[in-house]
Amino acid sequence: MQGRRLATTEEIVAIVSPDSDDVVARLESWTAERDISLSTVAVGDDIDHVYDENRATLGVTIGGDGTFFEGIKTFAPRNVPQIGVNTGTLAFLARVEPEDLEAALDEIIHGRAKVDSRQQVVVHGEGIDATGINDVMVEHVPPENPIDRKITQLDVYADDEYIGEFEGTGLAVSTPTGSTGISLSANGPIHYPVDNHTLQLVPLHTHQIGVRPIIVSSSTELRLVTRGPATLLVDGGRANATLETGEEVLITGAERLAHVVRTSYDDHFFTAISKKLGWGIRDVDEPQRQSTTAAREQAGDFAAESVGDDHGLPPGPAPTPSPSRAPGSDSTTPALTDGDSSTVLEHAHTIATEAAEAAGEPLRELHGQVETVDVKSNKSDIVTEADHQANRIITTVIDNEFPDHGIVSEEQPRRNGKNGYTWVVDPLDGTGNFAHGNPNYSISIALLENGTPAMGVVYVPETDELFSAIAGIGAWRDGDPIETTDRDRLDESMLISGYDPDGTFLSHFYQESRGVRRLGSAALNLCYLASGSADATWEHDTYPWDIAGGLVIARAAGATITDERGEPFVFDLATDKRTALLGSNGPLHPALLEHLGTGLPDRSGDR
């Protein structure tokens, strides 16, 4: 989950431990001031009576790690991100202190927090079907007679491969999040848990010195077969079972990840374990070493290259940007509204990238629902909701970072800016494709500088492709530079057609070229032209929001863009008239105009 998505939070559901009245009162005041609804429930209570699945929800736990675990159990199945406020003692997961509550929440609703996707573990067996965030423990049953055998024997398999027999106190199968608990005590490795989707199998009090921990992927199915009675505990007993001799349990990574929100007010992971576990590899009181990115910046390198979502720095004033897919942004960076043009455009590139990827998440989720719905009215509702959610995420993120800029979107009234910068947003280009379960749809975001498209981002949610460009600097696909082809012969060229109502483009070029394809997204057509996947594209008529982002990308990659008569294409945000567009790699343009002109209807009355 992308942290920018949290900027659209509409409600907070808080799970509260006893003796937390002061923190709850502060949370109530904060939400009331920002017109965000708040519901509180006691630890262990169900939230169904207060949770609205149709609203953007943030989960908050107020307590220690035990309360945080209850939050995971409650929020993860609902795909709700959560943050933990620590009113307990030794907390590794609930890492926001009460005095930082309001500042951390402000950071979240401004879209400047990070969301870690944490691996969960799931166990199936006789009398047990449970999910945990920490670990599954299988241990011996204490004998009634103190002189009886006190060990357990387990046969363990990874998928279809026999690992061997483990003899000792038992086994722990933990997630990276749970690697600092029982597993660490048993000499297992410490896992950095952020976006780490693995499981580890750690023997407990093994009777063989050579038996070591094993790391497996989250998709590996671990099968444990008991050779004697054993107990099974999930997350310290939140689910449990007694296993008989010969019983089998299956343990694997859960498909549903838990989303943990991290802000700049949290202790970082290694700071937390240094403070709380006495990890002697560094002195927690001394200043942290510089990040790699900061060190590079001081050395004169461009510092916008991402080192992971929300961990980098805003783009600097260097003459060429990093080709990274999504230059990072410091979560504490204030909104940038003025400054020299290159700085604004580079920062806008970062923000547009993050906004597009955040908006792509609900589109993917709702696209999956469209594919399973047969009733037309239901599909229409889903498409409308997809448009609404994506647009709200994008425009909220832009507004948080650039409050003085104008915003024009297909889905909302126009807002005029004050400083010559206007954003043009199409949250779902290719609505027809989306409505029919077709993956060829995109998100288009552009920034105009004094009316001219100067920065563009086009994101394809289903393929996770990101096209972007800054005028005069370059164009990229997933961080790699792109440029148009150099073909000048029609019979060697692949063409793309947009809206072509009377078939003019198709009829004139299908036989003369290597084919004409129609994808259904004008923004994507221009990006494929820019990246060399096509040699030309034709649109009978376009709206500004259809093409603004793609236009920057195509031009920056070397494309020639004209109208149907060969005149330079004029982007006009003020007009409601649709405009024809012919784009090519350049060398092919004369041949295109020649063949297209012979079949064009007379549109002189429209000019």
Work out the widest C-alpha separation in the chain, in whole angstroms.
Answer: 102
Residue 511 pLDDT: 67
pLDDT of 285 over the 70 cut: no
Same domain, 84 and 65: yes
What is the predicted pLDDT for the residue at 300? 38
Q: Both 518 and 563 in a single domain? A: yes
Q: Per-residue DSSP letters for 209-246?
A: TT---EEEETT--EEEEESS-EEEEETTTTEEEEEPTT
Annotated binding-site residue? 21: no
pLDDT value of position 411: 73
Whether the Cβ atoms of residue 352 and residue 395 lie closer than 8 Å to each other: no
Q: Judge contact between 155 and 122, C-beta under 8 A.
A: no
User: Is pLDDT above 90 for 335?
Assistant: no
Following DSSP, what letter does each residue of 277-309 receive, concatenated?
H--TTS-TTSPPPPPHHHHHHHTT--TTS-SST
pLDDT for 287: 52
pLDDT for 332 equals 36
Query: pLDDT confidence of 140, banded at 50, 70, 90?
Result: confident
pLDDT band for position 141 (cuts 50, 70, 90)? confident
Confirm whether residue 134 is marked as ligand binding.
yes
Residue 54 in marked binding region: no
How sure is the predictor about 462, in pLDDT bands with cuts at 50, 70 and 90? very high
Token readout for 456 is 């563009």
Round to whole Å and give the CA distance between 424 and 550. Answer: 11
pLDDT at 533 over 80: yes
66 among the known binding-site residues? yes
Segment among 51-65, 172-186, 590-604 with least mean pLDDT: 590-604
Q: What pLDDT score was predicted for residue 607?
A: 38
Annotated binding residue 129: no
Q: pLDDT per residue over 466-476, tens digit each? A: 999 999 999 99
Q: Which domain holds residue 499?
A: 490-606
Q: Do residues 148 and 84 share a domain? A: no
Strands (E), 119-221: 121-125, 128-132, 135-140, 152-158, 161-168, 170-174, 198-204, 214-217
Q: What is the pLDDT of residue 593?
A: 86
139 in a labelled binding site: no
| 3-class SS of residue 389 | helix
Confidence tier at 379 by pLDDT (50, 70, 90): low
The model's pTM is: 0.79
Whether 13 maps to a domain, the answer reads: yes
> How confident is residue 293, by pLDDT bands cut at 50, 70 and 90?
very low
pLDDT over threshold 70, residue 303 = no
Give the CATH number for residue 372. Answer: 3.30.540.10
Where a domain ends, among 481, 511, 544?
481
Closest CA to 468 of 305, 583, 324: 324
Domain annotation covers residue 68: yes
101 with 128, same domain: the answer is no
Q: Measured at the alpha carbon of residue 438, what is the angle toward residues 117 and 550, in degrees to the nearest 5?
A: 80
Q: How far apart are the C-alpha atoms of 290 and 130, rounded to whole Å? A: 42
**Weakest-pLDDT range from 381-390, 507-516, 562-571:** 507-516
Per-residue pLDDT tens digits for 3-29: 999 999 999 999 999 989 999 999 999
Query: 288 Cβ partners below 8 Å, 6+ apart?
Result: 271
Query: Does one domain contain both 440 and 535?
Result: no
Do 247 and 125 share a structural domain?
yes
Q: What is the pLDDT of residues 223-241, one digit of tens each?
A: 999 998 899 999 888 899 9
Which stretch, 116-120, 177-181, 412-416, 443-447, has highest mean pLDDT?
A: 443-447
In a domain, 281, yes or no: no
Average pLDDT over residues 304-329: 37
pLDDT at 278: 76
CATH number at residue 520: 3.40.190.80
410 is an annotated ligand-binding site residue:
yes
Summary count for the chain: helices (H), strands (E): 13, 31
Same domain, 540 and 577: yes
Do 443 and 576 belong together in one domain? no
Residue 253 is predicted with a pLDDT of 96
3-state secondary structure of 382: helix
Residue 572 lies in a domain: yes
Any domain includes 519: yes
Domain boundary residue, one of 82, 112, 142: 112
Amino acid identity, position 490: L
Find all residues with CB under 8 Å of 103, minimum gap 6, and list them: 265
Tell me what pLDDT residue 375 has: 59
Matching residue, tokens 């096509």: 534
Q: Is the pLDDT of residue 307 over 60?
A: no
Per-residue pLDDT tens over the stretch 438-453: 999 999 999 999 999 9
Domain for residue 286, yes or no? Answer: no
CATH number, domain containing residue 29? 3.40.50.10330
Instruction: Determine whether the annotation assigns residue 135 to a binding site.
Output: yes
Residues 593 and 557 in one domain: yes
Instruction: Give residue 81's pLDDT.
Output: 96
Q: What gap in Å lies between CA 35 and CA 10, rounded to an integer? A: 8
Query: pLDDT exceeding 70 applies to what percent of the chain?
Result: 83
Residues 139 and 249 in one domain: yes
Average pLDDT, the chain: 84
pLDDT at 284: 59
Please check whether residue 461 is in contact with residue 441, taking contact to mean a CB–CB distance below 8 angstroms. Answer: yes
Domain count within the chain: 4
CA dihedral sign of residues 302, 306, 312, 317: positive
Looking at residue 450, its pLDDT comes to 93
Tell whether residue 416 is among the known ligand binding residues: no
Indicate the pLDDT class of residue 180, thresholds 50, 70 and 90.
confident
Q: What pLDDT score was predicted for residue 274?
A: 80
278 or 58: which leads in pLDDT = 58
Question: Given pLDDT bands bounded at 50, 70 and 90, which one contains residue 328?
Answer: very low
Q: Which of 19, 22, 45, 65 is catalytic?
A: 65
Residue 392 pLDDT exceeds 80: yes
CA–CA gap between residue 60 and residue 194 (Å, rounded): 19
Cβ count near 51 (within 10 Å): 18
pLDDT above 60 for 109: yes
Least confidently predicted of 178-187, 339-348, 427-436, 552-561: 178-187
Domain stops at, among 112, 143, 178: 112
> What DSSP string describes 17-84?
-SS-HHHHHHHHHHHHHTT-EEEEEETT---TTT--TTS-EEEEEEESHHHHHHHHHHHGGGT--EEE
Whether 559 is in a domain gets the answer yes
Does the pLDDT value for residue 144 go beyond 80? Answer: no
Q: Which residues contact 268 (CB under 8 A, 6 or more apart)?
A: none
| CATH number of the domain where residue 192 is located | 2.60.200.30
Amino acid code (one letter) for 559:
A
**79 and 137 inside one domain:** no
Tell whether 102 is covered by a domain: yes
Cβ(423)–Cβ(402) below 8 Å: yes
**In the annotation, is 65 catalytic?**
yes
pLDDT of residue 339: 53
Answer yes or no: do 467 and 411 share one domain.
yes
